[in-house]
Structures are given as C-alpha cells and as structure tokens.
Amino acid sequence: MDTESILRQMTVEEKAALISGTDFMYTNPIPRLHVPSLCMSDGPHGLRKQKEGGDNGISESEPATAFPTAAATASGWNPENLRKMGEAIGRECRHYGVHTLLGPGVNIKRNPLCGRNFEYFSEDPYLAGVLGAAMVEGVQSQGVGACVKHFAMNNSENFRFMGNSVASENTCRNMYLKPFEYIVKHARPASMMCAYNQINSVYCSENRWLLTDVLRREWGFDGVVMTDWGATHDRVAGVRAGLDLEMPGDTAVCRRRVLNAVKDGTLPMEDLDAACRNILRWVEQYAKPADTSPVDWDAHHRLAAEIAADCAVLMKNDGTLPLSGREKLHIAGELFESMRYQGAGSSMIHPTKVTTVQDAFKRRGIRSVPLCEADTVLVFAGLTDEYESEGCDRENMRLPQAHLRLIDDMIQTGKKVVVVLFGGSVVELPFEEHVSAILNMFLPGQNGGEATSQLLFGEKNPSGRLAETWPMRYEDVPGHETFGKTLQEVYREGTEVGYRYYQHHGIPVRYPFGHGLSYTTFEHGPWQRDGNTYTKTITNTGSRSGGEVAQLFLDGELRGFQKIYLESGETGTVSVTVEPEDNTACPDTLSVPPLPPKYPITTESRFSDLRQTFPGRILFRSVLSVAHKQMKRAEKMPDGPEKDNMRKGALFLQRILESNSLRSMSMSAGKSFPWNFAEGFMHLSNGHLLRGVKAFLSPIKAPRLPKEE
C-alpha cells in the first residue's frame, strides 16, 4: 500500500472519515482506494473480542484466556512473564482477526482507592515502564499492534470523563509520564490511547503539549494516537494538537466540524494529512487476515497458572505454610468456590475455562473438615466486584465487612488461621498480627485456583514482591482527604508517591514496596559497581528452590532490578545496568483553578449532576433504568459464569452511566445518541423546553461514509 499515493487521492470527506472510528472497534475502510478496516479489541490482560452482533458491552465476547491482571503480574518483578503473556494474547488476537490490542495500562497507582488499579502495574514509574514495555514487545512479536493507555494522569475513576489533574510540570514529567516514555523509547508501541481527563485544564485529547511536544517531538513516537472511547471534546482542536483517531467514532458532528474547519481554514490540511498518514501506516502494517489455525488453549491456561504462581506474594508466614497435606483443614470464605480472578469493567474476559481453588483442591483430594475437629483454618477473602471496578473509586480501603467478620470469628477459635487474599488493590489488614499467614494472589486469572493450590501445598515457592506499598490505614495515604471527591485532583504531593512519600516522612507501613517472603532463605552479597553496571551475588541458603528479586535503589528511587531462580545451596550473580538519569529540570509550581459551577447543566456536567432539576432527575432515572433492567435479567438466570458476567456487566454499566457526561455519552454512542440529543437533554435539564425540542429536531448532517457509497 503506497501511503503517500493514497493520501494524494483521498477526498477531504474520506480523510474526515479515516480519522474517525466506526462500528465501535474498527477504523473506517476506504473501499475506493482499497484501504481495509483495522480491528481493535480490549485488553490488557486478555482478549475481549465481541462476537458478531454483540452489544459492545462486556458480555457476548469470544472465549479467550483470562491472564492475571497487572496488579498480579507487576508483583512478579519478571518482565519475561509479561513477554510470554503478550505473545499468547497476540496469538489469540491473530486467531480472531484482531489487529491491535488495547493495552497495557501503565498509569501510576497514585492512590489505593482508584477503582482501576487492578489494571495498572505499580506506584513506581520504572517498574511500570519495564513491565509495560515487555508486554508490548510480546504482543507485537505476533504481528499485532499494542495500544498503551491511558495517556496520561488517569489516576482516578469517579470523575474520569471530565476530571482535571492539576500538577506541576515536574510532577507530570518525572512521575506520571515516565512509564509511557520508557515504553515509547524501548518498545516502540504501535499506538497510544489518550485519557479522558484534563491535565491542567486542557483535555488530553486536545493537549498539544502532551501529544505533540512531549510524545512526538521529545520522545520520537511515530505511531497512532487514538482517544479512549468517548474522550473526544473539540475534534478540530484535537487534530491540531496531534490526535489522529477518534474512537469509537460514527459521530456526525465531529466529521462535520472537521469538514467545516478545513473549508474555512481553521484546520490546516497538513494537520489533517498528518493524522491520516499515521493511520494509513498503521493499517498497512497491522491489518492482516485472521490466522484461524487452532490456538493451544490448554497451553495458555497452563501459562496463566505459571504466571500467577510466580507473582503471588507471601506477605506473612510463621511457618504454617507450606501445608503438608496432612493437616486437618477447615475451609471458609466465598472466594474458595467463586474465586475472583479478574477485574470488573471493559477488560472483563469470557474465559476459555476457569479453575477455582475448590476445583484444584478436589483434584488433590483435599476436603474441609468441621471447624471443631480442624487444626488449621484457610480463609479465602478479598475484594468483590461490588467493591472494586472500573467506573468508580472505592469508598474506603477496607475489606468487605462480612469477610472481616469471618476472619475475626476464625481467629477467636484459637486455631492457626491462613488468609488467602484475592483482589486488585491494597486493603487495610487489621487482623494481620493475629493470623499465621497471608498469601496474596491478587487477581490471578482463570487458572488462579491451580496456582493457589501449588503455593499453599509447597509444590511451588512464592516469589512475588509487592509492586506497591501497603499502608497501615488509609489516613496515612497522601491526599486522602480530597482524592475522588471532586472533578479536580490536585497533585500537591508532587513526586512523593508511594514509597517515596512514606520513606521521606518516616511513616510506618504495613508492608513496604518490594516486600515478599519465601519458603526458603537468601543471602545477598553487597552491590559492586563498575561504571553504570551493578552486580551482586545471591545464595539460596534454605532447603527449597525459589526465586529472589534483587532491587537496586539509588537516592531513594528504584533504578534497576533482576529476578533470579536458585536451587537449594546454589549461588548466582545478578547484574543491573542503570540508564543515565534523565529527569527533566522543569517548574515545580502549581496553579489551581477554581471549580466550575454545578449549575446550569452543560454537556460536560457529570451525569449524576442532572438530578439537581426535576427534568434532569427524570432523564437520570430513565437512563439508569437500562442498567437496572440488565441486573434484573441477571438475577433471573441460573447460577454460573453467564449469570456472573451479566451481573458484573450491569454493575459496570450503572457506574459508567453515573460518571458519564452528556458529551462523553454522545461521543461514545455515535448514531444512537447524536450530538443534538445531548444538547437537547442539556436544555431540558435546565428547564428550557423549547430549546430542547429545537435541538432534538435539528440533526447534524455529515456526508455518507466511504463504506456506504
């Protein structure tokens, strides 16, 4: 495909179509010039490819492998896990004809209550960058593009569609942009997804400093920049700023504005051509026919367990673990039978199969005995979908009350209590001093039950290390008073995120960044430096084989790491080469704008704000009824994965609708909720009946799409 020749032959209407997506997950084809459509699909820890006729929600997707989420894989401190996982997901993408995977997500975990933390790697930008780059390399080794997200500073969910991340340039560059920079320079991803939020009062989708000055000119990115789904604001300003593709597209208003701007000269043709050129190159490189040869689903299922076992963190152990299999075990907790293995939201996968802990125990002949006869209690607890999901931030850092009560009841028996945790985020552990062991599986993927059993019974040795700090209590977290409270997130703590903050201020934590125990012991020699290379020896001084992570901190920051696996008595050498420090000297000042008024309602108002007026309340309830009806359908279904998925989908839909704006709903829904409807509802919510009716009766017209010609 001769990109420049095609670009010269394209009409301005075809160019306006090319920079807009279509059918929710595709680029617009240009049949006249033999430009095919490119297919995208959600990641980042597995493939969510919608079936033909699917609802573009989180149900009705093709079976795929649900791998451990980023909260788990980051704790493995092993880039090879991410590379293997990326290769497997890339292979599944090719099988289903998906050309670009929407992942990995590498945003910094600024606050433990962020509802999407399960999809992100770490509080540390270097660790997040290294692991994200490895996944990109794995996916793209299969001829499938990766799309790194969410660029940038998408660190909370409550107001993500209209939130304003207010931070100094120093904070932006030297903390939140760092993982993206590392991935761009080391892995050359095919695409980047800009976030919904604003950075210092400029939306990411039209932020020229972010998309052009930093991403392209400073870092040398030469791929496609697309929006998150519904993140478009001023489409013309976006093109001028360096935004290539609007997703999901099918918005007549955006195409009309682009055409009008080209006609009146406010959008230079060279800017439109630059966006088209990037998209054409992307399509040329990745839009290949599907490889329908069989996928080794069983091998991918085994790989999911292998990765989960390598990433689990043994947080506490008094010697009770590993179990010998001869103990009299009493098993308690709902997550034993219904293990939570993935997060809730747009990344939810239809797994090829699921192996729960109960399944794995049955295969081993492990049975629960009554509590009175038992000597050891296993409690399976954690965060459920009601407490942790994309679309909203958690209300607190506590486990569900029922889980805490169960653990306390088991402690009161005086027996040994082992807690196995599932969940994608940090929680408070008020029971920590009173239990014998805590094994954290995070969200371990569809074969997490097998991995859990292997670790509990010593078939494998825990070798994960925490990729984020576990504070004693939420009140110790910087910015806890204001996080998620308004659409304005002020990053007053600067770059003092996670361990940097706790160390600088001398605040004790429950478990530090990098913490993790083992069933064996290791002896570390001192670091030896030769230029930028640091080496040390590590000896396994225990009786079991195991993995250890060498972590190199310079001036209080993680600058390198390496994981090594050693047999009992074996000594190995680790080597870490530190890249030159390239922190950018830039202003560290904050300029905090006032919060905008909540009334009158605008197309940017949070959807829940519509309840301020009587007409708005009617609209709000009617829209939310869609989610409520889906929940009712779910409750009528027989127990099983289908019911669980439908229920999770209803919860997610409710959270997304509440946090949306009229603008983001229109930008997400395309033809089913066009822009004049958004304006009409805005006027109605403000009590302007005639203006509302006029807007509803004034559709915005755009030329037919090339595929319709």
The answer to which of 362-371, 486-495, 641-650 has the lowest mean pLDDT is: 641-650
Q: What is the predicted pLDDT for the residue at 429?
A: 98
Three-state SS at 238: helix
Beta strands 191-194 and 145-151 are parallel
The 3-state secondary structure of 648-698 reads HHHHHHHHHHHHCEHHHHHHHHHHHCCHHHHHHHHHHHCCCHHHHHHHHCC
Q: Which amino acid is at 427?
A: V
Burial of 33 per CB tally in 10 Å (0-12, 13-18, 19+): middle
DSSP string, 430-476: TTGGGSSEEEE--S--TTHHHHHHHHHTTSS------SS-EESSGGG
Q: What is the arithmetic mean of pLDDT over 246-275?
A: 98
d(CA 589, CA 209): 17
Q: CB–CB of 51/61 below 8 Å? A: yes
Q: What is the predicted pLDDT for the residue at 54?
A: 54
Beta strands 224-227 and 191-194 are parallel
- pLDDT per residue over 92-119, tens digit each? 999 999 999 999 999 999 999 999 999 9
Q: Where are the domains of the chain?
A: 607-708
Q: CB–CB of 469/449 below 8 Å? A: no
Q: What is the predicted pLDDT for the residue at 331?
A: 98
pTM above 0.85, yes or no: yes
- pLDDT per residue over 530-573, tens digit each? 999 999 999 999 999 999 999 999 999 999 999 999 999 999 99
pLDDT exceeds 70 at position 253:
yes
Q: What angle do CA 111, 116, 120 make, to 5 degrees?
A: 80
268 confidence band (pLDDT: 50, 70, 90): very high
d(CA 571, CA 633): 59
Q: What is the predicted pLDDT for the residue at 56?
A: 53
Q: What is the predicted pLDDT for the residue at 688?
A: 95
Mean pLDDT of the chain: 95
359 confidence band (pLDDT: 50, 70, 90): very high
Give per-residue burial for 469-484: e unless 16+ CB within 10 Å, then b.
Answer: bbbbebebbbbbeebb
Q: What is the predicted pLDDT for the residue at 647?
A: 85
228 in catalytic set: yes
Q: What is the predicted pLDDT for the residue at 59?
A: 57
- pLDDT per residue over 19-44, tens digit each? 999 999 999 999 999 999 999 999 99
pLDDT exceeds 60 at position 55:
no
pLDDT exceeds 70 at position 310:
yes
9: Cβ–Cβ under 8 A, 6 or more apart, which residues? 33
pLDDT exceeds 80 at position 578:
yes
d(CA 628, CA 385): 16
pLDDT exceeds 70 at position 58:
no
Q: CB–CB of 121/131 below 8 Å? A: yes
614 confidence band (pLDDT: 50, 70, 90): very high
Side-chain half-sphere CA neighbours of 251 within 13 A: 30
pLDDT exceeds 70 at position 198:
yes
d(CA 572, CA 154): 40
Q: What is the arithmetic mean of pLDDT over 651-662?
A: 90
- Selection from 28, 31, 51, 49 nearest residue 40 by Cα: 49
Q: What is the predicted pLDDT for the residue at 679?
A: 97
d(CA 528, CA 537): 9
- pLDDT per residue over 134-162, tens digit each? 999 999 999 999 999 999 999 999 999 99
- Selection from 236, 240, 145, 160 nearest residue 195 by Cα: 160
- pLDDT per residue over 311-358, tens digit each? 999 999 999 999 999 999 999 999 999 999 999 888 899 999 999 999
- pLDDT per residue over 680-707, tens digit each? 999 999 999 999 999 999 999 999 999 9
Q: What is the predicted pLDDT for the residue at 1?
A: 80
Catalytic residue among 42, 124, 228, 250: 228
The answer to which of 5-19, 440-454, 487-501, 616-630 has the lowest mean pLDDT is: 616-630
DSSP 8-state secondary structure symbol assigned to residue 607: G
Give per-residue burial for 106-115: e unless 16+ CB within 10 Å, then b.
Answer: bbbbbbbbbb
Q: What is the predicted pLDDT for the residue at 57?
A: 54
CA Rg value for the chain: 26
Q: What is the predicted pLDDT for the residue at 641?
A: 72
Tell me the backbone φ, ψ of residue 161, rounded to 5 degrees.
Answer: -75, -20
Q: What is the predicted pLDDT for the residue at 689?
A: 95
The answer to which of 43-47, 49-53, 565-569 has the lowest mean pLDDT is: 49-53
Beta strands 26-27 and 21-22 are antiparallel
d(CA 197, CA 178): 18
Cα 210 → chain centroid: 20
pLDDT exceeds 90 at position 652:
no
Place of tokens 């919608």: 50
For the chain, the farthest-separated pair of C-alpha atoms sits apart, in whole angstroms, at 83
d(CA 111, CA 116): 11
d(CA 461, CA 444): 16
Q: What is the predicted pLDDT for the residue at 179?
A: 98
d(CA 518, CA 315): 9
Cis geometry, peptide bond prior to residue 150 (ω within 30 degrees of 0): yes
DSSP string, 27-72: EPPBGGGTB---BEEE-SSS-BPBPTT--SSSSSB-EE--PPPHHH
Beta strands 164-166 and 198-199 are parallel
